[in-house]
Amino acid sequence: MKIVSAETMLKNARKDGYAVGQFNINNLEWTKAILTAAQAKQSPVILGVSEGAAKYMVGYKTVVNMVEGMLEALNITVPVAIHLDHGSYEGALECIEAGFSSVMFDGSHYPIDENLAKTKAIVAKAKAKGISVEAEVGSIGGEEDGVTGAGEIADPEECRRIAATGITMLAAGIGNIHGTYPDNWEGLRLDVLKEIGETTDRIPLVLHGGTGIPDAMVTEAISYGVSKINVNTECQLVFAAATRQYIEAGKDKVGKGFDPRKLLKPGYEAIIRVVQEKMDLFGSSNKA
Smallest separation, CB 106 to Zn ion (Å):
8
**Least distance from C-beta 146 to Zn ion, angstroms?**
13
The nearest distance, CB 259 to Zn ion, in angstroms, is 35
175/187 Cα distance (integer angstroms) = 7
Q: Virtual CA dihedral for 59, 60, 63, 69, nearest 10 degrees?
A: -120
What is the residue-wise DSSP string for 195-245? HHHHHTTTPPEEE---TT--HHHHHHHHHTTEEEEEE-HHHHHHHHHHHHH
Cβ-count burial 178-197 (b if 16+ within 10 Å, e if not)? bbebeeeeeebbbebbbbbb
Q: Which of 16, 85, 106, 201 is catalytic?
A: 85
Of residues 118 and 208, the one with the C-beta less far from Zn ion: 208
CB-CB contact of 84 with 92 (8 Å) = yes
What gap in Å lies between CA 29 and CA 51, rounded to an integer?
Answer: 19
Write down the least CB distance from residue 22 to Zn ion, Å: 9
Residue nearest to Zn ion (CB): 208
Closer by beta carbon to Zn ion, 106 or else 195: 106
Considering the complex, what minimum distance in angstroms separates the CB of residue 176 from Zn ion? 8
Nearer to Zn ion, 208 or 287 (CB): 208
Report the interface residues with Zn ion, using CB under 5 A. Answer: 208
Cβ closest to Zn ion, residue 233 vs residue 284: 233
- DSSP E strands: which ranges in 116-217? 132-137, 142-144, 147-149, 169-172, 205-207
Question: In terms of CB distance, is 16 or 143 closer to Zn ion?
Answer: 143
Q: Between β-strands 169-172 and 132-137, what pairing exists: parallel, antiparallel or unpaired?
A: parallel
Q: 247: exposed, middle or buried (C-beta count within 10 Å: 0-12, 13-18, 19+)?
A: middle
Report the residue number, 41 or 208, with the smaller CB distance to Zn ion. 208
Q: How far apart are CA 128 and CA 133, in angstroms?
A: 12
Strands 132-137 and 142-144: unpaired
- Assess whether 16 carries a catalytic annotation: no
CB of 134 to Zn ion, least distance (A): 10
Q: Are 176 and 188 in contact (CB under 8 A)?
A: yes
Catalytic residues: 85
